Structure 1
Amino acid sequence: MSAEPHNLDSWRDLPAAQQPDWPDRAELDKVVAELAGLPPLVFAGECDQLKSELAAVARGEAFVLQGGDCAETFAGATADAVRNKLKTLLQMAIVLTYAGRVPIVKIGRMAGQFAKPRSKPTEVRDGVELPAYRGDMVNGFEFTPEARTPDPWRLLRAYHSAAVTLNLCRAFTKGGYADLRQVHAWNQDFVAGSPAGQRYERLAREIDQALAFMRACGADPEEFHTVEFYSSHEALILDYDRALTRIDSRTGQPYDVSAHMVWIGERTRQLDGAHVEFFSRIRNPIGVKLGPSSTPEDALALIEKLNPANEPGRLTFITRMGASKIRDALPILVEKVTASGAQVAWVCDPMHGNTFEAPSGHKTRRLDDVLDEVAGFFEVHHALGTHPGGIHIEFTGDDVTECVGGGHPVVEDDLALRYETACDPRLNRGQSLDLAFRVAELYRSS
């Protein structure tokens, strides 16, 4: 494939943050060449379909539910693990669909989220310094020189793990597992068994009555049995995403076919950096994380670089402010971007700005802080007359103990019981459903 018509390698001349220090460039080149010859994981037409759904979000006609692991692991690409995450996402989606009366765009942080940026390039334990763990795509979690040395062949394993995950997701979402009535029955079980169940019982009962009415009318649309599900990841390791960029035979345009949607993180959104340059060349729907230090000038410059044609659905801003800062930091961004006429979707990441270290040394988050940031996100948009377009969360379908709070409350002393994340703390299944019902309440009160 020739890169010349679209300048797909122009990023190589720019500073690229958060890239591994590969020990053998020749080995990396071999892996990249092999990746470049492999089939696409997704198709350009699917990316365009997601773009059209995100355009509806930007217009205020739909809502994004984006979530999954902080950092996927190769060991986690199993049927049980994928099914549990997908089940939780579907349960959240049905609650939000009914409460919001709008379509829910379901996007997984799945099938590619194998790399993570780090605040420090190395980690020190007992006087021993080794490279930081950057995700299974780059190196191993075990604290040994062998495991922590970046290995480019892991890029190839990431591709195959992503393929397995996507195949499972497609089978589950198209094969009857996502049937609306079945998903609602799971939520009824959750409400019945949750200490906070009474709070959610009314909404669950309303959904039950709506489904019963549809059944009595003989309505049984295909949408009751299957769902559209999209994949996404932070396109951090540029050699991987560049190797999986293809020219669409329909349009002649380049798409990163490693995922339907890719995003740029807070640490790599430099306007003159390699990530922003690479993203400006591909035609996928893309996201950019914006933290509390983001200025309106930053946002407007990113819009000009990444979506100069103001294409609806092309660009999503994913804000990650922190509960204590969102009400102060977000309004000026939304106000200035809206005044510019730019068509963007606004999505709230209430996880990354609310991390702290417990006395035990575990990184954790309080569910109350997560909920408060989402509430602040809704408040800001309602005050400005703009659309709170979605949530972006880190969760698992398992009963881990990584974040504190929830209907079945996890306290700080519980963190060590099932602290299983490879990187940042995730909401467990119960906490995720708590969040969905609370977001539904926010939607209904708007």
Structure 2
Amino acid sequence: MSAHALLAKYAAPVPRYTSYPTAPHFHSGVNCGKYAQWLCELKVGSKISLYLHIPYCDRLCWFCACHTKHTLRYEPIATYLQALYLEIDRVGSLVGARASVSAVHFGGGSPTMLTPEDMQAVMQRLRRAFHFAGNVEISVEMDPNDLDDQRYDGLASMGLTRASLGIQDFEPKVQASINRIQTFEQTRAAIEAVRARGVQSVNCDLLYGLPYQTLDTLEKTVNQVLSLNPDRLALFGYAHVPWMKKHQTMIPESALPDAVQRFEQMRLAGDMLMAAGYRPIGIDHFAKPEDSMAKADAEGRLKRNFQGYTVDTADALIGLGASSISQLPQGYVQNIAATGEYQRSVEESGLAAQRGIELSAEDRVRARAIESIMCDFRLSFADLRRLHPGKAEAVIEEAIDFASTNEDNLCRIEEDCLVVTEQGRPLARVIAAVFDTYLANGKARHSIAV
């Protein structure tokens, strides 16, 4: 079957599988009390990574599906930070000295809206509340429109090690249609500024499937990005979900490429990145061969969490701030998304957990199967039995059944493994969904698979 025919057959909405079970299945049974208990149960010697959500932007990009709000005043951010400090202190007191921080990631929204003084204040608060390991990776999502020399210096004083820049597309017509004006020159200046201050790793995000995007405009954008010499790139398909994010209704749907055009854009950009020497990572990442993510992928150590593909080996990911999600050994916890309600909850109890899910034994084995498909394009039955003795057989049977009955050569059984074929790799999310027992019973709507 041709690639286009496969798309027509399989490009249905499915989750991105940055967790399993996925967030639509979280429930209110996991609250602040349960979250506090789970934090106290972290084992001595655990490694943790921290994610801090800054839910403010000084412009609202219409393509964005993140939890954020528009503001041109700094007062709401300053008020929010006071609540964030309370949560940092409370979570740090519950974790205690049992765990050490190995990574910190600032996301948003636009973390680079923070003043240099507040950037330093947040890091000082984190270091007082938590025990930091020797070499901590500190990464920040950056908007070049926010940045000046003082903020670059502030980022450097925080100990920034990885800069992440959302580019999306450099074509002016495309940028105007998504309300994301960011020139190539601005982006180049931002990368040069962080590198001049000692930052060794730069990640760039690109989008395909945007309004008015064509193969020609995308090719030009990719060539411009390659001239910036980033260490990693993420190539995401635009997720058009206006039923979730009302501002996406500002995007002209008639200008969006169809499923076949999206696939051709994905293939063009991916081929260009690989021709330039980048190693493909999972379904949507690329990295230089010497990058830690490329090495982890080559050695079978790649992981996937709410931040996407990662080399993070921490035992727990702790989310701080409105809407942030924590991934603990016991399960997932999500904070209140509305900033006002988040602030009131933290002021009352120091925590803002609103919902989550406790993992069952079956959830764990299926999560492992899905992560293996998404990261490695293969599922080792021996590994599954070793990690989940007595629980793996049902999933293995489902894998064998899918491989033997699928007529489109998406995957096959090889040496006690389910192996995704080259033809099936663009549809890895579809294959992962085979193991998702929640999907059929959920009411959530998802973006298309390619």
TM-score by length of 1: 0.35
Higher strand share: 2
TM-score by length of 2: 0.34
